[in-house]
Copies of this chain bind each other. A is one copy, B any other.
Amino acid sequence: MTCLLRQIAAAVKHQIMMLSQLQSYIHRERLFDPAQRLLLAVSGGMDSVVLTHLCVAAGFNIGIAHCNFRLRGGESERDEQFVRRLAERYNVPFYLQQFDTAERAQAQKQSIQVAARELRYMWLEKIRQEEGYDHVATAHHMQDNVETLWMNISKGTGMAGLHGILPKQGKLVRPLLFATREEITAYANAHQLEHVEDSSNATDKYTRNFFRHRVLPLLEEAYPQVVKNTGAGIQRFREAEMLYQQAIAVHRRNLLEQRKQEYFIPVLKLKQAQPLQTILYELLKPFQCSAAQAAQVAELVDSEPGKWVATPTYRIVRDRKWLIITPLEPAASAHFVIEKGQETVQLPEAQLLLKTCDPAHISTDPHIAYIDKQQVQFPLLLRKWKQGDYFYPLGMDKKKKLSRFFIDQKLSLPEKEKIWVLESHKKIVWIAGMRIDNRFRITPGTREALKIELKNT
């Protein structure tokens, strides 16, 4: 009897302590309002069982969601049954989804772990929306967070890898991050909470378990408080990251200037910005520029104009006074075939208009060309210029390389990349917007002219 009383007293004490810590954590991190509806992701493991128990004790309005990844045969079915009964006991809604994880992983060429995680979060968010919950809550705790930090640092992280697992990401909240594994275990024991082996441990299984079972126990020999110390550090790093982002935002405002689809960074001003590497890395990240590429861009700053670094979607070019960030043209738009009689061609940022007319016209606007219609052979080809292209500039009987012509015209690399050329049977007719070819010029013998206009849209 005394033993039972002692157990009850311990349970009450733990409940009061953990509940008050939970509530102050929710308040401090502004996770959610106690009146909101929470969809708990429950694997049936100790962490999620404790989270459920605490949420019920706190009087939160909850539902329980369980994913059966069908990866562990009968064990998966056992877990599903366990969580279903848990929801029944607490008399709260229960949502279940079974996945063909292995199949999905194969189809998407992902690891089982990545596939399981994606399926889980996608489905939880779907249920949240369909069933009208305000947030999805998972049972990640401090030790998960510390493991994540140590793994990130071992892999080689920057500032973003230091915040560990975030307490709040969009509609996802982790209200148990304040608690250590020991506190959760003590709570589960005090309340004699049944649970199953936590199948979510399958995520990052090898490395995470290596840190959990081998690295952290070793560190605890030197620093018994390593989990709490690192946990407190993560909190500070998260705040430090906010300040870091504030400083980056100031540099972005000062350095990055948008002009239509392009972005310009003034080189002289950039050279004075400190720390250059990290500022460039953060400024260029939205352009899919990797850390290694950002380091190459840092070298561009001290190099000759004309060099560039290409990301998967942008080209970053060293111009005389600027770094110019230009979107790569989609390959599909690189060629347009123009049939006889066709009057318009729609380009990504321009329109080409063709019209037969009287040969008496002369254009002073480089965007309008008049050529001898009889000299061209349809279909014409409109394409981007390429290395090796040459033409006979109007008024000259010697051929000239386009690359050379562009240098004389002092075109920057992004300007060059925008240039379209009109081709007739392998001969260049017009460098659109710039100069026609001498071979296609209007002569006294011209009977019919073709007016071609490049209109920027």
Binding site for B on A (CB under 8 A): 149-150, 153-159, 161-162, 207, 210-211, 214-215, 218-219, 221-223, 225-226, 228-230, 232-233, 236-240, 242-244, 246-248, 250, 274-275, 277-279
Contacts and interface: CB of A to CB of B under 8 A. Distances in A.
B277 A154 contact: no
A278 B221 CA distance: 30
Contacts of A211: 222
B237 A159 contact: yes
Nearest to A231: B156
A278 B233 contact: no
Contact of A277 (B162, B214, B237, B239): B239
A240 B278 contact: yes
A158 B246 contact: no
B239 A243 contact: no
Contact residues of A: prevailing secondary structure: helix
Contacts of A221: 210
Nearest to A159: B240
A218 B223 contact: no
Contacts of A154: 219, 222-223, 226, 229-230
Contacts of A161: 233
B244 A153 contact: no
Contacts of A244: 240, 243-244, 247
A156 B274 contact: no
A21 B150 CA distance: 29
Contacts of A156: 225, 228-230, 232-233
B229 A274 contact: no
A253 to B, nearest CB: 13
Given A158-B240, A237-B159, A230 B278 contact: no
Given A154-B226, A243-B244, 15 more contacts: A154-B219, A154-B222, A154-B230, A156-B230, A156-B233, A157-B233, A157-B236, A207-B222, A215-B218, A236-B278, A238-B275, A239-B275, A239-B277, A243-B243, A243-B247
Nearest to A156: B229
Nearest to A237: B159
A228 B154 CA distance: 9
A177 B158 CA distance: 19
11 contacts: A154-B219, A154-B230, A156-B228, A156-B229, A158-B237, A207-B222, A211-B222, A218-B218, A244-B244, A244-B247, A250-B250
Contact of A229 (B155, B162, B215): B155
The 6 closest A-B CB pairs, nearest first, are A156-B229, A239-B275, A239-B278, A243-B247, A247-B247, A246-B247
A233 B158 contact: yes
Contacts of A210: 221-222
A158 B236 contact: yes
A225 B153 CA distance: 11
Nearest to A235: B277
Contacts of A158: 233, 236-237, 240
Contacts of A242: 274-275, 278
Nearest to A146: B153
A157 to B, nearest CB: 6
A228 B155 CA distance: 9
Nearest to A225: B156
Given A215-B218, A244-B240, A247-B244, A223 B155 contact: yes
Contacts of A159: 236-237, 240
A278 B243 contact: yes
A142 to B, nearest CB: 13
Contacts of A246: 247, 250
Contacts of A153: 149-150, 153, 229-230, 233
Nearest to A230: B153
Nearest to A206: B222
A277 B235 CA distance: 10
Nearest to A219: B154
A243 B155 contact: no
A392 B155 CA distance: 73
